[in-house]
């Protein structure tokens, strides 16, 4: 509980700014992004590298809709570790 609360503290500061997101859809998008970033941090991933790779895979068509579970932070991290071990 304390770990989650500490990870959400920076979000609380941004929450006031997000009140003026312009629409309900904008606020929902912000909440999704905040959730993805914090999930990456909890799994000790660089959020920018994680999101960049995931979005590139989705946009390029490299990952199909039935493979989206592979892009979850914990699966993505395991696949990266497996790839780096194979390359070494």
Q: Tell me the per-residue pLDDT of 10-35, one tens digit each, with 9 for 90 and over.
A: 666 566 666 666 777 877 887 788 88
Residue-level pLDDT at 55 = 93
> Residue 52 and residue 41: Cα distance in Å, rounded?
14
Q: What is the DSSP string of the chain?
A: -HHHHHHHHHHHHHHHHHTTSSSHHHHHHHHHHHHHHHHHHHTT--HHHHHHHHHHHHHHTSS-GGGGGGGSHHHHHHHHHHHHHHH-
- Quote the pTM value: 0.71
26-66 confidence digits (pLDDT tens): 778 877 888 888 899 999 999 999 999 999 999 999 989 89
């Amino acid at each position: 509980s304390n770990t989650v609360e500490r990870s959400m503290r920076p979000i609380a500061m941004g929450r006031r700014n997000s009140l003026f997101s312009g629409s309900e859809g904008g606020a929902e998008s912000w909440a999704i992004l905040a959730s993805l970033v914090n999930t990456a941090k909890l799994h000790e991933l660089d959020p920018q590298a994680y999101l960049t790779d995931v979005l590139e895979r989705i946009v390029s068509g490299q990952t199909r809709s039935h493979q989206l579970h592979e892009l979850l932070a914990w699966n993505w991290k395991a696949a990266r570790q497996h790839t780096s071990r194979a390359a070494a």
